[in-house]
Homo-oligomer: A and B are copies of this chain.
Amino acid sequence: MTEPLPTGSTIGILGGGQLGRMLSVAASRLGFTTHIYEPGANPPAGHVADRVTTADYDDIAALERFAASVDVITYEFENIPTAALDALEAHRSIRPGRESLRVSQDRLTEKDFLSGLGLRVAPYNNVETVNDLKRALETVGTPSILKTRRFGYDGKGQSRITSADQADQAFSDIGGAPSVLEGFVDFTHEVSVIAARSAAGDIACFDPGENVHKDGILATTTVPARLSHAQRTDAVLMAAKILNELNYVGVMGVELFVTSQGLIVNEIAPRVHNSGHWTQQGCNVDQFEQHIRAVAGWPLGDGARYADVVMENLIGDDMDRVPDIALEPHASLHLYGKAEVKPGRKMGHVNRVIATKK
């Protein structure tokens, strides 16, 4: 696929959560229709999509029908089974490409990849047995965090270790899965770069946002982030290096720790990213449209930031505050239409425009 997709084409999206939902809306703004593939019933993205396929990722026939019905395939999450990707790719291009998924699906592969590019990451060791963990604790030290290599998100699949004698407990906490022990990084704050690369190889980065987490889940992202001019440049160059190496097409979230010794890559996500939701109010073209543009072979849009914004996630019971937020000046609500409120569940977000500039 080398020509830009004409308006009226169909974008296939794997995953029907809030990211797929906002991708679907962005696709509609460019005149595309969308087809969502999602195992779960009544997915949030389905409310704003032209078509929904409800089927599992091991249903090869459903995957093939889905692929045949769309013009290009993208996704809202990185943990798509390899066999499903094989079935899909036999029919249609998948963007971002397979290499991005291979690298980001496994924390060890990702860290090796980033180190190999000369980027700094936290000290880490591969852990496959509890004895591996004990040896790793000798080199990496404590405090440190044991993280499963696969399927971790929002703080899940992680165990914090403060002394070496917690090794057995920690390994048991994460279910004895293949893991990585990550050493302590003395960072002042975390920022993320939402970076985009077009099929033609052009790169555009949104202004970095500053992230605050609570209970392992992103709570707020604020732009502008506290960064020196040099750090801001570094952040963008690091993201560009990653995207170019992967021959990446689409939007990627790159999380960085800010330390007195410079920026350290925490992790990358080959998709639109929660920390990029502020772009809906602060830019002419937001991260969702930027991703769709790239995936559709279009040129990237103007993502220059024209506003100071604070994005706040609405998690679980935060939904009780919606009536008050609806009354707030300078606030834009984005609710995900999820049927059930659960503790820790991302139900929506609000972008508050603090100031505008140009």
CA distance A179 to B304 in the complex (A): 51
How does the 8 Å CB contact mask read for A309-335 relative to B, with 1 for contact and 0 for none? 000000000010011001111111111
Within 8 A of B (CB), among A1-53: 4, 7-8, 21, 24-25, 28-34, 46-50
**A298 CB within 8 Å of chain B:** yes
**Interface pick from A55-63, A187-195, A212-220, A348-356:** A348-356
CA distance A358 to B334 in the complex (A): 22
* Chain B proximity of A208: nearest CB distance (Å): 20
Within 8 A of B (CB), among A263-293: 281, 284-285, 293
Closest to A303 in B: B329
| A29 cross-chain contacts in B, Cβ below 8 A | 332-335
**A337 CB within 8 Å of chain B:** yes
**A299 CB within 8 Å of chain B:** yes
| A230 cross-chain contacts in B, Cβ below 8 A | none
**A229 CB within 8 Å of chain B:** no
**A336 CB within 8 Å of chain B:** yes
**A86 CB within 8 Å of chain B:** no
A302/B329 contact (C-beta < 8 A), A31-B336, A31-B337 known:
yes
| A323 cross-chain contacts in B, Cβ below 8 A | 4
- Contact at B50–A25, with CB atoms within 8 Å? no
| A353 cross-chain contacts in B, Cβ below 8 A | 284, 306, 358
- Contact at B306–A326, with CB atoms within 8 Å? no
Question: Contact residue range for chain A?
Answer: 35 or more
Closest to A6 in B: B322
A284/B284 contact (C-beta < 8 A), A298-B326, A326-B293, A333-B29 known:
no
Closest to A328 in B: B302
Within 8 A of B (CB), among A110-142: none
Residue from B25, B329, B337 in contact with A25 in the complex, judged by beta carbons closer than 8 Å: B25
- Contact at B356–A7, with CB atoms within 8 Å? no
**A301 CB within 8 Å of chain B:** yes
| A337 cross-chain contacts in B, Cβ below 8 A | 7-8, 28, 31-33
- Contact at B358–A355, with CB atoms within 8 Å? yes
| A33 cross-chain contacts in B, Cβ below 8 A | 47, 337
- Contact at A284–B281, with CB atoms within 8 Å? yes
**A307 CB within 8 Å of chain B:** yes
Closest to A29 in B: B334
A322/B28 contact (C-beta < 8 A), A50-B46, A356-B356 known:
no
* Chain B proximity of A98: nearest CB distance (Å): 27
List 17 A–B pairs whose Cβ atoms lie within 8 Å, in order of A's numbering. Answer: A7-B319, A8-B337, A8-B339, A25-B28, A28-B337, A29-B333, A31-B337, A31-B348, A34-B47, A47-B50, A48-B48, A293-B326, A301-B326, A302-B328, A302-B329, A304-B329, A353-B358
Sample of 9 further A-B pairs with CB below 8 A, known A29-B333, A306-B356, A355-B358: A7-B322, A7-B337, A21-B28, A34-B47, A47-B49, A299-B326, A307-B356, A353-B358, A356-B356
